[in-house]
A and B are shown apart, each in its own frame.
Chain A
Amino acid sequence: MAEFNEIKSEALKENSSDENEKRCRISALREQTQNPAQKKFYKSYEIKSDVQEICAAFFGENKITLEECNQQLAEYNVHLEEIPYVDEKEADKDLNVIARAAFNGYFKETIHDNLSKGFFDRRTDDFKPEDYNLDNCAVWQKFKKVPEFAQLEKTVKQGMAKLKISPDVLSPSYPYPLNANDISKIICLQFKGSYQKNGLKQVCIKNINGFEGYKIRNTKRFIAENEEVFRKSMMRIPLSGKDIEAAKATGKTPEQALAYCKQVRAEYVEALINLMKAKGSTNLAEAKDDKGKTLFKPEWSWQPKIDVHHINPIHNCETIELKGKNFTDINDYENMCFMVKEPYHTIMHYLDNCECDDFKSKIKAKSAPDKRFMLCPGKNEKEKDNMRALLYKGVYIWQNFISHKRKENDGDLPHRDEKRLQASDVQLKELQQSRLNQGK
């Protein structure tokens, strides 16, 4: 820890515009680390703020490799890996729409701006579903890769006939091919049901063909396979100071307050596990019993929330296609890990998409290869400090990895590895061409 405080401190000295204040903060940080009596568990905003400072401060030389980094991170169940870089502007938006629908279990109806001209190519003639040959529709070929969506082919054809969309839009030579938002809209319009208003809607796919979405499916699998580990990990997360103070305010001694808070944590964790098993959800705040009564208790207000994290990012499905996989694998159990929302999920995204413009993701943090749950903060002060060190270390190593790449490419480089990027671009174009060919 001292090493990282020092590194951080040095970096801040070099880059800070308000050195004194920052030095004081770093010095205070070091004191807390060195003096057990003053140690505390850092709040998410404090960590975020520090990470932002470090991100802004570190433009340093490469000192540590990714391999060395992962050796050190292994004990925390954390692993950083390089993923192919795809410029988000170049990413296939259709894949994102389809993958998100499959993950969330909802089709989303969006405004006209997102729809193709083909969607509005309507005729006055009556059409039958069989007049539409979706084999010619490139975007439908992508939808079909999700097995539960392939079942909706008849629905899409019926919807197109109902809307009197010209069958010509499915011709490979048609200039305005349908996109994923068009298909989502067609399905939504078929299933809006008793919705009386003209407003847009997100339609639950479970109500169409029973498909719950990969988020729910993977959450159920995770808890089925890891219940005991999850329970123990959750119990190890430090209790909130707010909970302890609230308990003390009711007249409890510090020991009684601690015991009470542990009991509240245990109740919360059991309720969470039951919810994950039954509904595949981790949001206890929205959970209701059979009579519609909320299950959430006020004393759970400061309990840790659990998030599901995509290792390869869902907004950029090509990153997984470039690894030779199908884009739908983005929602596979293997591409997900579960973690406490604050600060870990937030920090993980700082690692891969830092707010500083110069740092762009090529490194993703995930749980260790054989683990599906990101380590929770430690059960004792040493482990808590280790966790903080990890957060700093992860950012530090990641930044240096980027710097190292920059140096390899003659220093004066944009924020990413251009050679690798060019290679990825070629692969990406080949991929897109192959998709087009498949569509035809």
Chain B
Amino acid sequence: MDNIINQNIMKKIKEQTGCNAPASEAQIKLCNVKLKQHGFPELPEDFAKVLLEANGLTADDANIFGVGLEEGGWFDDVCDYNIQHCQAPSKKLVLGYDDDTHLIYYAEEKLYRVESEMGKDMESDDLIEVLEYFLRIQ
């Protein structure tokens, strides 16, 4: 994968959040196969890149999912969450949740949205910008 993640901002995110150990390329590939089998879009490339830095992030009540994780731990698995909570087939993929909001990737539009039942809080095609917002990076 190309280096498409701004390392300075990623460093700041890692400093200000709880982050899991990096995921492996194999875990990401396996997750994509599983997602596809269940009718979900594959992980967006920049999100996969973040997973190679931290296989799950958490700040306060906000959680960004990881891959290949067992249920019941401190970080949730993106496949398990979507398979258990979302209808398939789907063109969107939930990548994390906060108290009342979700971080969702809309594959067709290649957009990330932070939204709740009340509506959209923000949207962007820049994952890092969305992560800074979602994880309340100061």
Contact = CB atoms under 8 A, between A and B. Distances in A.
Interface of A: 43-45, 88, 93, 96, 100, 104, 106, 108-111, 113-114, 197, 199-204, 207, 240, 242, 281, 283-288, 292, 294, 296, 300-302, 305, 314-315, 342
Interface string B54-76: 00001111000000001111110
Contacts of A88: 117
Contact of B60 (A109, A110, A286): A286
Contact of B72 (A44, A207, A287): A44
B58 A283 contact: yes
Nearest to B71: A45
Contact of A104 (B60, B117, B122, B123): B60
Nearest to B80: A45
B70 A242 contact: yes
A85 B17 CA distance: 37
Interface stretch (B32-40, B43-51, B128-136): B128-136
Given A201-B132, A202-B133, A283-B58, A294 B138 contact: no
Nearest to B9: A197
A412 B84 CA distance: 32
A352 to B, nearest CB: 14
B26 to A, nearest CB: 20
Interface of B: 15, 17-18, 58-61, 70-75, 84, 99-100, 117-124, 126, 129, 132-133, 136, 138
A106 B136 contact: yes
B69 to A, nearest CB: 10
A110 B119 CA distance: 10
B71 A96 contact: no
B115 to A, nearest CB: 10
Given A45-B71, A199-B132, A285-B74, A108 B126 contact: no
A111 B122 contact: yes
A434 B24 CA distance: 58
A294 B58 CA distance: 12
A200 to B, nearest CB: 5
A52 to B, nearest CB: 11
A110 to B, nearest CB: 5
A44 B17 CA distance: 26
A286 B136 contact: no
A199 B136 contact: no
B136 A202 contact: yes
Contacts of B73: 301-302
Contacts of B122: 109-111, 199-200
Contacts of B61: 283
A288 B19 CA distance: 11
Nearest to A91: B118
A96 B61 CA distance: 17
Nearest to A44: B72
7 contacts: A44-B71, A111-B120, A199-B129, A283-B60, A296-B74, A315-B100, A315-B117
B118 A96 contact: yes
Nearest to B129: A199
A270 to B, nearest CB: 18
Given A283-B60, A285-B18, A286-B17, A305 B74 contact: yes
Contacts of A302: 72-73
Contacts of A200: 121-122, 133
B42 to A, nearest CB: 24
A301 B60 contact: no
Contacts of B120: 110-111, 113-114
Contacts of B99: 100, 104
Contacts of A281: 60
Contacts of A201: 132-133
A159 to B, nearest CB: 19
Which 5 residue pairs of A and B lie closest in terms of their CB atoms, listed nearest first?
A286-B18, A285-B18, A199-B129, A202-B136, A200-B122
A43 B73 CA distance: 12
Nearest to B118: A93
Contacts of A108: 121
Contacts of B58: 283, 285-286
A110 B72 contact: no
Given A202-B133, A286-B58, A114 B70 contact: no
B118 A199 contact: no
A294 B18 contact: yes
A185 B129 CA distance: 17
A315 B99 CA distance: 11
B46 to A, nearest CB: 15
Contacts of A199: 122, 124, 126, 129, 132-133
Nearest to A181: B121
Given A305-B74, A314-B100, 16 more contacts: A44-B72, A45-B84, A100-B100, A104-B60, A109-B122, A111-B123, A199-B122, A199-B126, A200-B122, A200-B133, A201-B133, A203-B138, A242-B72, A292-B15, A301-B73, A301-B74
